[in-house]
Structure 1
Amino acid sequence: MTRWMCLALSLGLLSACGRGVPDGARVVVAGDSIMAWNRGSGGSVADVLQQELREPVGDVSLSLARITSGRGAFNIPNQLESVRAQWVVLDGGANDLSGQCECSDCGPVLDRLISEDGKRGAIPSLVADLRARGARVIWADYYTAPRYAGTACEAPYQVLEDRLSRMAGADAGVTLVDLDEAFSPEDPSLFASDRIHPSPKGSALIAAQIAPILR
């Protein structure tokens, strides 16, 4: 087994130790490692939301999860396959971009995720499915991580944000939360030692941006 596979397995097992979805949960969190990070210490986005809202919050997020590929719970649509909730909070797309285009020539990957007009692709299909189940959707758009600030990796994420904005603008039941409005890549206290994932303070800040909408 390669070192990368060992790391992936470790991250997956750590993130799999979540609460799942309690019966009657009004809010469920899904997505990738930005949502799942700090779960082992009780400080993930879902953990903080549960504390802030004082009610059970489901959590099916998993590190390394993707929108357009990945098996089982490593596929974000699969995470939500049987979920029925009033609110679904999620993110996604970073692992698709990093795994399939490495921050350059990302047009085809972006198009598979979401079309330029925000109406087609894997993300709009997932959101439409959730809306058809009666859920309101909060999509957390990525912050700029210190490791990638000022590099070519920023450009695809700006395109993704623009397309997500068009999707959300077409449906009052979809809210786009731009994490860059609160996160600064110049504040190291918001980030884990890898300079990508949120620190416990960072996860709490994400939850603080989302909680007022859920109330």
Structure 2
Amino acid sequence: MKQLFVILGLTLMAACGRGVPDAARVVVAGDSVLAWNRIEGASVADGLRARLGEPVGDVSLPLAQVAGGRGALNIPTQLEGVQADWIVLNGGANDLGVGCGRDDTAAVLDRLISSDGARGAIPALVADLRGRGSQVIWADYYTSPRYAGTPCAASYQVLETRLTVMAARDEGVTLVDMEDVIAPSELNMFDTDRTHPSPAGSDRIAGLIARALPPR
């Protein structure tokens, strides 16, 4: 029960500052990797806001899933009614579960995205956003020190491969790899849980994403 209250408390605190300013051309959605450090004003969206010099929407939340979760803990629901030129997204980690040790991991990956990148919850979400006229930047996960060398590494590699195939199918979808800017050996890039980014890590991720965005 105590753990549940801790999780709920973290989620409520991380919700502070969420929202989409009027006329924001960039909106961030997804899970805790993007939402982390929001309380300190150092989330990925905060880093983008500073670099771009313009309002940036942020509807991301810890514990959010792509194919599961209720309300704002479901990433497609986070984006209901949202229209923006660019949507920055991540997701899938919470669907796969802590440690990626589920017996149905292969089935979960298939539910998220098929091997041809055309079917599943992720392509469906991306297709919906593209249909609204948005361009999509999908931020693929880094390998964290906590999960390096565990079954998660193989599962996330499958996810990355399928996301790469999906992005190649549509010029309006850009895949950026957070591992290009954060290595598991760089402990200062991670929070004390050795999973989520430190403020410096979030800033690096923001820089990676900003380079994929055209100037206003």
> 1:170: Cα distance to partner?
0.4
Q: Which runs of 4+ in 1 moved over 4 A?
A: none
- 2 CA distance for matches of 1:100 and 1:75? 20
> 1:194: Cα distance to partner?
0.2
Note the alpha carbon deviations across 1:174-210, whole angstroms, 9 max, x for none: 0000111111100111000000000000000000001
**SS of the residue aligned with 2:212?**
helix
Give the alignment's Cα RMSD to 1 decimal.
1.3
- 1 CA distance for matches of 2:162 and 2:30? 18
> 1:104: Cα distance to partner?
5.4
**Closer, same or farther in 2 for the Cα pair 1:99/1:190, shift >3 Å?**
closer
Contact 2:117 2:165 in 1 (8 A): yes
Note the alpha carbon deviations across 1:71-130, whole angstroms, 9 max, x for none: 100000000011000000010000000169536541000000000100000000000000
Task: Name the aligned partner's letter for residue 150 of structure 1.
Answer: G
Equivalent residue number for residue 133 of structure 1: 132
Gaps of 5+ in 1: none
- 1 CA distance for matches of 2:158 and 2:151? 12
- 2 CA distance for matches of 1:190 and 1:149? 15
Task: Name the aligned partner's letter for residue 130 of structure 2.
Answer: R
Equivalent residue number for residue 185 of structure 2: 186
Equivalent residue number for residue 119 of structure 2: 120
TM-score when scaled to structure 1? 0.97
Equivalent residue number for residue 213 of structure 1: 212
Please say which of residues 196-205 and 147-156 is displaced more in the overlay: 147-156
Contact 1:104 1:152 in 2 (8 A): no
* 1:75-154 equivalent positions in 2, closer than 5 A: 75-98=74-97, 102=101, 105-154=104-153
- 1 CA distance for matches of 2:170 and 2:124? 13
Equivalent residue number for residue 55 of structure 1: 54
Task: Name the aligned partner's letter for residue 163 of structure 1.
Answer: R
Contact 1:139 1:177 in 2 (8 A): yes
* 1:150-169 equivalent positions in 2, closer than 5 A: 150-169=149-168
**Closer, same or farther in 2 for the Cα pair 1:46/1:72, shift >3 Å?**
same
Equivalent residue number for residue 28 of structure 1: 27
Gaps of 5+ in 2: none
**SS of the residue aligned with 1:28?**
strand
Contact 1:165 1:176 in 2 (8 A): yes
Note the alpha carbon deviations across 1:147-179, whole angstroms, 9 max, x for none: 011112111000000000000000000000011
Equivalent residue number for residue 66 of structure 1: 65
Task: Name the aligned partner's letter for residue 208 of structure 1.
Answer: G
**SS of the residue aligned with 1:89?**
strand
Contact 2:31 2:63 in 1 (8 A): yes
**SS of the residue aligned with 1:4?**
helix
**SS of the residue aligned with 1:41?**
coil
- 1 CA distance for matches of 2:73 and 2:57? 17
- 1 CA distance for matches of 2:72 and 2:18? 14
Equivalent residue number for residue 9 of structure 1: 8
TM-score when scaled to structure 2? 0.96
Task: Name the aligned partner's letter for residue 85 of structure 1.
Answer: A
